[in-house]
């Protein structure tokens, strides 16, 4: 059975005050696939991420989840949507006053009626998935950045979400740990049928795990398709991104001076 | 000229927006009383942080305030030959006014600033976003337990402040300056009536509500009103929370006193 659309982004525009950061973004996130959203820093990936996780308000008919308009969700509907998703933030976003095990047990305690011992066991199991079961009683401040990120992933998986959103999973990680995380994301898709959405600018990681890649630049989607399609793209900006070429555009001195003087005023 | 009008308009809109957000914040916090998760142990934990851990600073402040009241009161009353009224003067000053106000200001500086900083750091480290993404109401999880704990702990701290302050006044007035012990305690007993205690308790409940509302709001929305980012968000939010809370306590003290007296 061909994969179906789980989330459709149909003409998403986003603003911070009067500054537009996303321009008519359109693509689909398919069920049981790994979708990677790539682009240079400041292209709008994180803003898009915040829209998809419901942290930034979306306009009507801009994002559809299973055919329902995310922008028109009531508080209850938004809460129901969030119970279907897991989110790993770039820094891990662990609660500093709790141990790793306590961090993972937070959603289990709030959303389930499981006994304390069952929650404890499930928390250890989730930590085991990311290779941190021996650190269950450690506080986040006692761990390295990579370990905090893995613990954050364990917490994102606590409620066995249908969709996993991951923001810059490899940033700050050594190649071996990053490769381990990539393997884990693929395992989640293969064994649990999870839909995974990854925001990253790491090319190697993206092509390794993605079923679909969306390349963004300056708030716009430049290309969207399979890794093969992206690799063969003739769009100059996509090629520049894939070939890791620096910008070579010449600075217009007149506009540069005007910009400096306006700043000073 | 146009720019000035635009700036004034933008400033006004921003302040109105902040005021609206402040009001909605209180409503969400109160709604959190009936929302999950379960609140008992989180409230107890916050009472332990706000209450007993403030005993030292409250006790210290109250003792020296009582001692100063005893000293100043004795020399003022002795000009009229009314030293025996010292107990009444110390007790009424503390119970009606100084106990609630000083304990509120001390707790604001100690616990209020810590609460603002804690929540502010949660904001900049995306921990509040993480709670929202886990379908956990952040107001109910973070703010409401602190709110309830403050409403419970403040009146008790205020009472503690009163007791220690009166003892401080006793120490100086009776033990050092020679006021009759019987006259001192008789003055305390006869002059402090239910209306005074009631006024003190109403003040401490109102002050606690104001303090925790402002401090948790400032932490929760750290950076949004001030337009700052990163660690500066937290430091500005903490400073603003303490200053705003203190001013609110002093203004509301006057309002409540004028209503209840």
Secondary structure (DSSP) of A190-257: HHH--EEEEEE--HHHHHHH-SEEEEEETTEEEEEE-HHHHHT---HHHHHHHTTPPP-PPP-HHHHH
Residue B89 has pLDDT above 70, yes or no: yes
**Does residue B25 sit within a domain?**
no
Q: What is the mean pLDDT of residues A5-26?
A: 91
**Each residue of B196-232: b (16+ CB within 10 Å) or e?**
beebbbebbbbbbbbbbbbbbbbbbbbbebbeeeeee
Residue A251 has pLDDT above 70, yes or no: no
C-alpha distances (whole Å) from B98 to each of A6, B104, B150, B167 are 62, 10, 19, 14
Quote the percentage of chain B above a pLDDT of 90. Answer: 84
Question: What is the C-alpha to C-alpha distance for residues A182 and A170, in angstroms, rounded to an integer?
Answer: 8
**Does residue B27 sit within a domain?**
no
Residue B254 has pLDDT above 50, yes or no: yes
**Does residue B30 sit within a domain?**
no
Domains located in chain A, CATH noted: 5-93+160-264 (3.40.50.300)
Angle between helices B144-170 and B99-107 (to 10 degrees): 130
Under 8 Å between Cβ of B137 and B145: no
Residue to test with chain B: of A74, A105, A106, most B Cβ within 10 A:
A106
Print the domain residue range for B101.
Answer: 57-260
Question: What is the C-alpha to C-alpha distance for residues A180 and A146, in angstroms, rounded to an integer?
Answer: 11
**Does residue B29 sit within a domain?**
no
A258 vs A209, more confident: A209
Query: CB B136 to CB A107 under 8 A?
Result: yes
Model pLDDT, residue A171: 82
Which residue in chain B has the smallest CA separation from A93? B127
Residue to test with chain A: of B131, B133, B139, B224, most A Cβ within 10 A:
B133
On the question of a cis peptide bond just before residue B37, with omega within 30 degrees of 0, the verdict is yes
Angle between helices A175-192 and A145-156 (to 10 degrees): 10
Question: What is the C-alpha to C-alpha distance for residues B136 and A107, in angstroms, rounded to an integer?
Answer: 8
pLDDT in tens, A23-37: 999 999 999 999 999
pLDDT in tens, A115-146: 999 999 999 999 998 889 999 999 999 999 88
C-alpha distances (whole Å) from A222 to each of A8, A26, A233, A236, B7 are 17, 10, 10, 10, 38
pLDDT in tens, A49-63: 999 999 999 989 899
Residue B197: which H helix or E strand, with range?
Answer: helix B194-220
pLDDT classification of A248: cutoffs 50, 70, 90: low
Model pLDDT, residue A254: 81
Residue B221: which H helix or E strand, with range?
Answer: none
Residue B62 has pLDDT above 70, yes or no: yes
State how many domains chain B has: 1
- HSE-CB for B103 with a 13 A CA cutoff: 41
pTM for this model (two decimals): 0.88
B74 contacts: CB under 8 Å, gap ≥ 6: B83, B86, B172, B173, B177, B179
pLDDT classification of B68: cutoffs 50, 70, 90: very high
- A 131-190: CB under 8 A from B: 152, 155, 159, 165
Q: Is residue A87 within 8 angstroms of chain B, CB to CB? A: yes
Question: What is the C-alpha to C-alpha distance for residues B206 and A41, in angstroms, rounded to an integer?
Answer: 48
Q: Are strands A34-39 and A212-217 parallel, antiparallel or unpaired?
A: parallel
Query: CB B126 to CB A85 under 8 A?
Result: no
B138 vs A17, more confident: B138
- Eight-class DSSP state of B95: I
Of B126, B134, B136, the CB nearest to A91: B126
Of B130, B135, B141, the CB nearest to A93: B130
The SS3 assignment for A12 reads strand
Q: Are strands A63-65 and A5-16 parallel, antiparallel or unpaired?
A: antiparallel
pLDDT in tens, B43-55: 999 999 999 999 9
**Does residue B20 sit within a domain?**
no
pLDDT in tens, A112-123: 999 999 999 999
The phi-psi region of residue B126 (left if phi > 0; otherwise alpha if psi is between -120 and 50; otherwise beta) is left
pLDDT in tens, B220-252: 998 776 566 678 889 999 999 999 999 999 999
Q: What is the mean pLDDT of residues B16-24?
A: 92
A73 contacts: CB under 8 Å, gap ≥ 6: A54, A81
**Does residue B17 sit within a domain?**
no
**Does residue B155 sit within a domain?**
yes
DSSP string covering B43-93 = HHHHHHHHTGGGHHHHHHHHHHHHHHHHHHHHHHHGGGT-GGGHHHHHHHI
Q: What is the mean pLDDT of residues B19-38?
A: 91
Question: What is the C-alpha to C-alpha distance for residues B115 and B145, in angstroms, rounded to an integer?
Answer: 12
pLDDT in tens, B101-150: 999 999 999 999 999 999 999 999 999 999 999 999 999 999 999 999 99
Query: CB B136 to CB A55 under 8 A?
Result: no
Residue A3 has pLDDT above 60, yes or no: no
Quote the percentage of chain B above a pLDDT of 70. Answer: 98
Dihedral through CA B7, CA B11, CA B16, CA B21, nearest 10? 130
Q: What is the mean pLDDT of residues B184-190?
A: 93
Query: CB A79 to CB B135 under 8 A?
Result: yes
Mean pLDDT (chain A) is 89
Model pLDDT, residue A1: 42
Model pLDDT, residue A31: 93
Model pLDDT, residue A243: 79
Tell me, what's the ipTM?
Answer: 0.88
Q: What is the mean pLDDT of residues A175-197?
A: 89
Residue B234 has φ and ψ, to the nearest 5°, of -70, -45
Q: What share of chain B is helix, strand, coil (3-state, %, to 5)?
A: 85, 0, 15
**Does residue B37 sit within a domain?**
no
CA dihedral over A86, A89, A95, A101, signed as positive or negative: positive
Model pLDDT, residue A201: 83
**Each residue of A135-155: b (16+ CB within 10 Å) or e?**
bbeebbeebeebbbbbbbbbb
Query: CB B129 to CB A54 under 8 A?
Result: no
Mean pLDDT (chain B) is 92
Under 8 Å between Cβ of B210 and B249: yes
Q: What is the mean pLDDT of residues B192-217?
A: 95
Model pLDDT, residue A247: 67
């Amino acid at each position: 059975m061909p994969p179906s659309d789980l989330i459709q982004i149909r003409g998403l525009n986003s603003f911070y005050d009067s500054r537009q950061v996303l321009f008519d973004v359109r693509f689909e996130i398919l069920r049981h696939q790994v979708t990677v959203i790539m682009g240079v820093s400041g292209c709008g990936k994180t803003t898009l991420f915040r829209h998809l996780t419901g942290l930034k308000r979306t306009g009507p008919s801009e994002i559809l989840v299973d055919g329902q308009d995310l922008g028109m969700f009531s508080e209850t509907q938004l809460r129901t949507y969030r119970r279907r998703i897991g989110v790993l933030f770039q820094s891990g976003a662990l609660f500093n006053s709790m141990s790793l095990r306590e961090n993972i047990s937070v959603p289990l305690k709030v959303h389930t009626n499981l006994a304390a011992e069952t929650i404890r066991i499930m928390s250890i199991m989730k930590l085991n998935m990311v290779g941190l079961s021996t650190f269950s009683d450690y506080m986040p401040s006692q761990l390295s950045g990579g370990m905090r990120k893995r613990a954050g992933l364990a917490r994102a998986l606590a409620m066995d979400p249908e969709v996993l959103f991951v923001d810059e999973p490899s940033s700050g990680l050594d190649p071996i740990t990053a490769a381990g995380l990539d393997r884990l994301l693929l395992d989640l898709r293969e064994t649990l049928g999870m839909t995974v959405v990854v925001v990253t600018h790491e090319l190697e990681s993206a092509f390794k795990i993605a079923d679909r890649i969306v390349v963004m630049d300056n708030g716009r989607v430049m290309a969207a398709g399979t890794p093969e399609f992206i690799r063969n793209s003739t769009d100059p900006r996509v090629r520049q991104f894939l070939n890791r070429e620096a910008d070579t555009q010449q600075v217009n001195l007149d506009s540069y001076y005007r910009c400096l003087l306006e700043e000073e005023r | 000229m146009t720019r000035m009008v635009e700036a004034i308009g933008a400033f006004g809109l921003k302040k109105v927006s902040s005021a609206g957000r402040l009001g909605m914040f209180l409503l969400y916090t109160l709604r959190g009383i009936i929302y999950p998760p379960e609140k008992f142990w989180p409230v107890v934990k916050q009472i332990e942080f706000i209450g007993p851990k403030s005993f030292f600073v409250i006790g210290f402040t109250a003792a020296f305030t009582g001692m100063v009241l005893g000293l100043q009161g004795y020399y003022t009353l002795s000009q009229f030959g009314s030293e025996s009224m010292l107990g009444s003067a110390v007790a009424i000053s503390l119970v009606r006014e100084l106990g609630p106000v000083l304990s509120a200001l001390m707790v604001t500086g100690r616990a209020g600033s810590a609460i603002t900083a804690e929540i502010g750091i949660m904001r900049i480290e995306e921990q509040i976003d993480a709670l929202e993404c886990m379908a956990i109401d952040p107001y109910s999880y973070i703010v409401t337990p602190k709110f309830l704990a403050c409403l419970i702990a403040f009146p008790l701290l205020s009472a503690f402040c009163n007791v220690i302050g009166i003892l401080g006044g006793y120490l100086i007035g009776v033990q050092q300056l020679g006021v009759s012990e019987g006259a001192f305690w008789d003055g305390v007993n006869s002059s402090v009536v239910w209306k005074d205690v009631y006024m003190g308790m109403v003040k401490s409940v109102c002050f606690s509500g104001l303090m925790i509302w402002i401090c948790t709001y400032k932490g929760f929305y750290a950076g949004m009103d001030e337009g700052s980012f990163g660690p500066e968000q937290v430091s500005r939010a903490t400073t603003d929370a303490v200053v705003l809370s203190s001013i609110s306590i002093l203004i509301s003290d006057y309002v409540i006193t004028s209503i209840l007296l």
